[in-house]
Amino acid sequence: MIKLYDLAGADENRRFSPYCWRIRMSLAHKGLEVDCVPWRFTEKEKIAFSGQERVPVLVDGDKTVSDSWNIAKYLETQYPDSPSLKLENGEVLFLKFWTETVLHPGLIKLLLLDVHNSLTEKDKIYFRESREKLFGKTLEEVVNGREERLPNLQKLLTPLSLTLKQQEFLAGESPGFSDYIVFGAFQWARCISDFSLLQADDSIYEWREKMLGLHDGLAGNAVGYSV
Ligand SMILES: N[C@@H](CCC(=O)N[C@@H](CS)C(=O)NCC(=O)O)C(=O)O
């Protein structure tokens, strides 16, 4: 069976990596079974065989693939007869870079402390040290005043909201990797924080509800908060 190294919190069932969620949704989309192995930030040696230090890492027989984009491409090539992730859609790459350079940074400034609070004691030390160095301030300072900053995030989401008013999914009439990329970010937030980011009448909220229900409620049934 395919094995996926998947980021976990202190509760090993709290699986919150946005990149791993892209792949878990993609595997379900393709009807592929997977054994999701819990992995912590400080367990670098466990994935050293992949030649890098980040998850997701996918092991399929004698093949090891890391990086969510490479994994998605691998799944399309290796399993061409199962439903397509629609990687050839022109918008996918734009959504990948928009998510990684605009959406993730926007969310992390609101949720950094919640990520920390979800981790094992050992991971907390690593996370605080590495992220405080990165941001040049404490985790508490990063998230300070987040309620007042929430409208900035909502403004940044306007193009997404307008798109989803006009079409069912980002990939068109049915979901594709484009949806899994963006959804991964919202699922990450939902798995570690009860801070509410979306309003119920927003088209993004409605789309996220649909995504939570896909593949027998894979994401909706995951350990997280009802926000
Ligand atoms: N470009 C990679 C990014 C993967 C990534 O950043 N994963 C995070 C978890 S969300 C990680 O493993 N971080 C390890 C660390 O910060 O030490 C992908 O698309 O898979």
CATH number, domain of 69, equals: 3.40.30.10
The domain boundary residue, chosen from 13, 43, 78: 78
Distance 68 CA to ligand 1 centre (A): 9
**CB burial of residue 226 (10 Å; 0-12, 13-18, 19+):** exposed
| Rounded Cα distance, 27 and 74, in Å | 11
Instruction: Determine whether the shortest distance from the Cβ of 116 to ligand 1 is under 6 A.
Output: no
The residue whose CB lies within 8 Å of the most ligand 1 atoms, and thus the one to mutate among 7, 55, 123, is: 55
Is 212 inside a domain boundary?
yes
Q: Look at residue 169 and give its three-state secondary structure.
A: strand
**Predicted pLDDT at 166:** 97
pLDDT at 104 over 90: yes
Do 109 and 60 lie in a common domain? no
In a domain, 24, yes or no: yes
pLDDT averaged over every residue in the chain: 97
Residue 182 pLDDT greater than 90, yes or no: yes
The confidence score (pLDDT) of residue 200 equals 86
| The pLDDT value given to residue 169 | 98
**Cβ count near 190 (within 10 Å):** 26
Inform me whether the pLDDT recorded for 7 exceeds 90. yes
Q: Are residues 100 and 208 in the same domain?
A: yes
Supply the pLDDT for residue 158.
96
pLDDT of 58 strictly over 90? yes
Question: Are the C-beta atoms of 34 and 4 separated by less than 8 Å?
Answer: yes
Ligand 1 atom closest to the Cα of residue 16 is 10
pLDDT of residue 25: 98
Is 115 found in the same domain as 190? yes
| Nearest Cα residue to atom 13 of ligand 1 | 54
Task: Give percent above pLDDT 90 in the chain.
Answer: 98
Q: Please tell me whether residues 201 and 131 are part of one structural domain.
A: yes
**Where is the domain boundary, 32, 55, 78?**
78
Residues 191, 223 contacting (CB under 8 angstroms): yes
Residue 87 is assigned to a structural domain of this protein:
no
Distance 200 CA to ligand 1 centre (A): 30
Q: Is 56 in the pocket of ligand 1 (CB under 6 A)?
A: yes
- The answer to whether 49 and 84 have CB atoms below 8 angstroms apart is no
User: What is the rounded average pLDDT of the residues 13-30?
Assistant: 98
Integer Rg of the chain from CA: 17
- Ligand 1 and 113: CB distance under 6 A: no
* Residue that terminates a domain, selected from 45, 78, 111: 78
Q: Which residues pair with 64 in a beta bridge?
A: 59
Residue 223 lies in a domain: no
| Model confidence pLDDT, tens digit, residues 149-160 | 999 999 999 999
- Domain encompassing residue 149: 92-217
Is 126 near ligand 1, meaning CB less than 6 Å away? Answer: no
Instruction: Using the predicted structure, report yes or no on whether residue 131 has a pLDDT greater than 90.
Output: yes
What residue's CA is closest to ligand 1, atom 12? Answer: 54
Q: What is the pLDDT of residue 28?
A: 98
Measured distance CA(26)–CA(24) in Å, rounded = 5
In a domain, 121, yes or no: yes
Could you tell me if residue 162 is inside a domain?
Answer: yes
Mean pLDDT confidence for 40-57: 98
User: How many domains in the chain?
Assistant: 2
User: Region 123-133: what's the mean pLDDT?
Assistant: 98
Own/partner pairs, 153-161, CB within 8 angstroms, 24+ separation = 153/106, 153/107, 153/110, 153/197, 156/102, 156/103, 156/106, 157/103, 157/204, 160/204, 161/202, 161/203, 161/204
Cβ of 19 below 6 Å from ligand 1: yes
Distance between Cα 97 and ligand 1 center (Å)? 15
